[in-house]
Amino acid sequence: MSDDRAHDEQPAGRRETERVFREEYGRCVAALIRFLGDIDLAEEAVQDAFTVALEQWPQRGLPPNPGAWITTTARNRAVDRLRREASRQDRHRQAQQLIDATTATPEERAAEEGPVSDDRLRLLFTCCHPALAPAAQVALTLRLLGGLQTAEIARAFLVPEATMAQRLVRAKRKIKEAGIPYRVPREAELPDRLKGVLDTIYLVFNEGWNASAGEALVREELCAEALRLARVLVELMPDEPEAVGLLALLLLTHARRAARTRADGTLVLLPEQDRGRWDHAEIAEGQTLVRACLRRGAPGPYQVQAAVNAVHSDETLDQRRRWEQILALYDLQLRLAPTPVVALNRAVALAEVSGPDAGLAAIDALREPLAAYQPMHAARADLLRRLARIPEAADAYREALELTTNETERAFLESRLAELG
Amino acid sequence: MSATKMYLLSVHMVEGQEPPSAETMQTMYQDVDVFNKKLQADGAWVFAGGLLPADVATVVRTQPDGKVLTTDGPFAETKEHLGGFWVVKAADLDAALALAAAGSKACQGPVEVRPFQDDTAEL
């Protein structure tokens, strides 16, 4: 698909349109997909509408409700296009659907739409359907809800644009041909499916947060996009404590972005970070959300992770009290989700509360299940270093380095290894 | 939505795997029978069947010159072979996946869900 937005010559109008595009794209595409029953047609129609906007808005100014204007224009464009092409077999069914949609009574439409009037939620659940591969879920979510161009997504994931285009085409084809429904799952399926949506948003954030290669700008954009999606989800499902937990976790993590690397790009560990450089507005918002969801008494993995991060940024506690609370939170999470990774996090907290010996014993019990997990080796190396077991620490650093792909992290581990002498 | 799609729910057998005990087989047959009756009662049933092992299969191939070549054995040289299948009608993939989950439980094995082309004739 051509990107006509690039040809606009009026920078002011273009910037304004870009902003609307960013804010409204997901909502417009989601509405059009429901109307047209087809993702490609919906994208085409919304792109068309933004092209019209670029022609008209610089002269006439923004309409009062730009999002509604785009949706209406896109709908009219799609209807025109389908009328022109109605004789073609593949478009015939879609034309019929449009006629059906326009003749349905408001009651019929309300019944079809269900209790949730914002189509973005449907779209989010469709993009994150478990029948799609996780990489495809992430790509589709960024494309359809975030309005990112295929090239941007490809850059963020360090794959050739053609590969990413192929991945998107295949995912969209599967949605259509396998009959993945365009709706919010029923009550019984909702917990599992919501977890899939949360995991996808978290994956988008992590990709931006952890990738060391690639352009800094694209990576920051991924983090911002994940935050935006988490906000949309909380706005649409305010009663889901895990959704609130995810938003809080992302805010509390994102708040530390300016403090986590030095000017030369090297990594600063949490205890050594300059707390003055944290984003205190995001911390305050994250902490308020953590308190709100803990009051509901329905803890889940994202809420516990968020609570751990809220404790890390709690200025009223000293270091020791912080680690005691974090250990208690990991005990809780271990009961909720007894996985080796959670056990590793708990072991790290245990080392801070009861000493490196105790932490190391707990980690050693995890060496087999986490043999391929870099953070296990890095944490083990650190504890061995603190216990002055130098040769073993050196071996553990080397094992960690072998599994490290992130350049910032590599530099950090190498410097620690060198300091061992 | 009243439109329905047809899906193939297939069960794959791995060659050389130890066959289940007679008792397990008995439970399996019973459970599959119950599942089949439910499919029929719910109007999801199109067709279903279990296959004999792939070593009794024969492949027939028309050559470019029009002659027919007949060979012993299954088409694919893999360890996994189609062991049985259901053809069902379902509103969408989620409905088909729910049927597949029940089928998988009944036959105690993984079930692959594959949509038919839209113009597939219904029996």
Alpha-carbon torsion angle A321, A322, A324, A327, nearest 10: 180
Last residue of a domain, one of A45, A69, A103: A103
Q: What is the DSSP letter of A255?
A: T
Instruction: Choose one of A70, A86, A103: the last residue of a domain.
Output: A103
Among partner residues A179, A185, A189, which is closest to B115 by beta-carbon distance? A179
For residue A384, tell me if it sits in a domain.
yes
Are A181 and B94 a contacting pair at CB < 8 A? yes
Q: Residue A181 and residue B115: Cβ atoms within 8 Å?
A: no
Query: How far apart, in Å, do the first and last CA atoms of chain B sit?
Result: 21
Per-residue pLDDT of chain A (421 residues; tens, 9 = 90+): 444 444 444 445 778 888 888 888 999 999 999 999 999 999 999 999 999 998 898 888 889 889 899 999 999 999 888 888 776 655 566 656 655 555 455 454 444 444 445 789 999 999 999 999 999 999 999 999 988 889 988 888 888 999 999 999 999 999 999 999 998 998 888 888 999 999 999 989 988 887 655 566 677 888 999 999 999 999 989 999 999 999 999 999 999 999 988 887 778 888 889 999 999 999 999 999 999 988 888 889 999 999 999 999 998 999 899 999 999 999 999 998 899 999 999 999 999 999 999 999 999 999 999 999 999 999 999 999 999 999 999 999 999 999 987 778 888 899 999 999 7
Distance CA B63, CA B68 (A): 6
Closest by alpha carbon to A97, among A173, A46, A45, A37? A37
Residue A135 lies in a domain: no
What is the tens place of the pLDDT at every residue in A147-172?
A: 888 998 888 888 899 999 999 999 99
pLDDT one-digit tens code per residue, A16-60: 888 888 888 999 999 999 999 999 999 999 999 999 998 898 888
How far is A34 from A38, CA to CA, in rounded Å? 8
Partner-chain contact B96 A189, CB within 8 Å: no
CB pairs under 8 A between A and B: 23
CA distance B92 to chain A (A): 5
Interface test with B, best of A90, A177, A183 (most B CBs within 10 A): A177
**Residue A387, in any domain of the structure:** yes
Domain boundary residue, one of A83, A103, A123: A103
pLDDT at A112: 43
> Is the residue at A198 inside a domain?
no
- Inside any domain, residue A50: yes
Whether residue A62 lies inside any domain: the answer is yes
Considering the domain boundaries, does residue A246 fall inside one?
no
Q: What are the chain A neighbours of B90 within 8 Å (beta carbons)?
A: 179
pTM of this prediction?
0.81
**Number of domain units in chain A:** 2
Asked if the structure places residue A378 within a domain, the reply is yes
Q: Which residues of B53-69 are buried (b: 16+ CB within 10 A; e: fewer)?
A: ebeebeeeeeeeeeeee
Q: What is the CATH number of the domain that holds A383?
A: 1.25.40.10
Q: H or E segment at A366?
A: none
Asked whether the beta carbons of A309 and A287 are under 8 A apart, the reply is no
Please give the residue range of the domain that contains residue A359: 317-420
Choose, out of B4, B7, B9, B93, the residue to mutate when testing the contact with A (most A CBs < 10 Å).
B93
Residues A153 and A73: their CA atoms lie apart, in Å, by: 27
Give the closest of B90, B97, B115 to A177, CB-based: B115
**8 Å CB contact of A179 and B93:** yes
Shortest CA distance to B9 belongs to which of B80, B121, B95? B95
Q: What span, in angstroms and rounded, lies between the C-alpha atoms of A202 and A242?
A: 12
Contacts of B94 in chain A (CB under 8 A): 180-181, 185, 189
